[in-house]
Amino acid sequence: MRLVIANCSVDYIGRLTAHLPMAPRVLMCKADGSLLVHSDGGSYKPLNWMSAPCSIVEEAPDATQADAGVTALWRVTQTKTGDQLLVTIGEVFSDHSHDLGKDPGLEKDGVEAHLQKLLADQIELLGEGHALVRREYMTAIGPVDILARDETGASVAVEIKRRGGIDGVEQLTRYLELMNRDPLLAPVSGVFAAQEIAPQARTLAEDRGLRCVILDYDEMRGVDPRHMRLF
């Protein structure tokens, strides 16, 4: 890992063309050859970058460039796509390197899978008398998040999302189209369950006769599943 703080301008030519005027920035050179150009704002996305695998070649500035204050040129080339990043470096304020070694990596917990598990344990959130058939019910075009039965015994397919968008509605629609061709399952109704549902997604879902259910993650987490089994 090499961290350089320097005045620089950057030109990218690849899937698009982009240019950064000369300004003070941070250049982060990672061990795999990748390069990130960060400013002092924005979020975690760099202003510009090159992903590994790539190679960095340092070139000497020509006389004209040197006169203009250019101290170095970095030509970064993507090995596979040929995308190029040209970093023109002026005054260097700081330049430090350190070997970090391989990172042990991030341990995550608590996303869509968790919501699915919670809803499976608290399936009556869909309505009284609902019963779980199974999670990840397999169909020809993929697994439905939850298959349940309502109080009349009719099949209910549930699509779970953290944020419900139009794509989720489409996904559920495809599943229902398929499942309703199966005489053993049909008629199958659809439930679109999410922590939030975009207005347009809700409109589309309701237009297609899909029920929308908002899931309160904190509340669901607070309920002890063992308690549920008493009922």
Partner DNA sequence: ATCTTAATTTCGGCA
Partner DNA sequence: TGCCGAAGTTAAGAT
Does 40 bind a second copy (CB under 8 A)? Our answer is: yes
Q: Name the DSSP class of 211.
A: E
Residue 77 binds a second copy, judged by CB under 8 A: no
Decide whether 132 or 224 has the Cβ nearer to DNA: 132
For the record, the structure tokens of 89 come out as 């470096």
CB 88, min distance to a second copy, A = 14
Other C-beta atoms within 10 Å of 148: how many?
Answer: 24
Which of 151, 167, 216, 224: binder of a second copy (CB under 8 A)?
A: 167
The residue from 77, 78, 155, 173 that contacts DNA (CB under 7 A) is: 78
Cβ neighbors of 209 (< 8 A, separation 6 or more) are: 189, 190
Which of DNA, a second copy, none binds 40 (CB below 5-8 Å, type-dependent)? Answer: a second copy
Tokens 């922590």 sit at which residue?
195
Task: Name which of residues 160 to 189 contact DNA (CB under 7 A).
Answer: 161-163, 165-168, 171
CB 35 within 8 A of CB 76: yes
**Closest by alpha carbon to 101, among 38, 32, 27, 3?**
32
CA distance 100 to 116: 38
Between CA 98 and CA 2 the distance in angstroms is: 6
- Report the distance separating Cα 16 and Cα 62, nearest Å: 27
Residue 155's nearest CA partner among 132, 185, 111 is 185
R_g over Cα of the chain: 27
Question: Can you give the length of the chain in residues?
Answer: 231
Of 57, 106, 140, 184, which one interacts with DNA (CB under 7 A)? 106
CB 189, min distance to a second copy, A? 21
227 binds a second copy (CB under 8 A): no
Q: How far is the CB of 147 from a second copy (least distance, A)?
A: 21
Q: Which entry of a second copy, DNA, none binds 26, CB below 5 to 8 A by partner kind?
A: a second copy
What is the binding site for a second copy (CB under 8 A)? 1, 3, 5, 15-21, 23-26, 28, 30-32, 34, 36, 38-49, 51-52, 93-94, 96, 98-111, 141, 162, 167, 170, 200
Contacting residues toward DNA, per CB under 7 A: 12, 14-16, 18, 42-45, 48-51, 78, 83, 85, 106, 108, 111-112, 138, 141-143, 161-163, 165-168, 171, 198-201
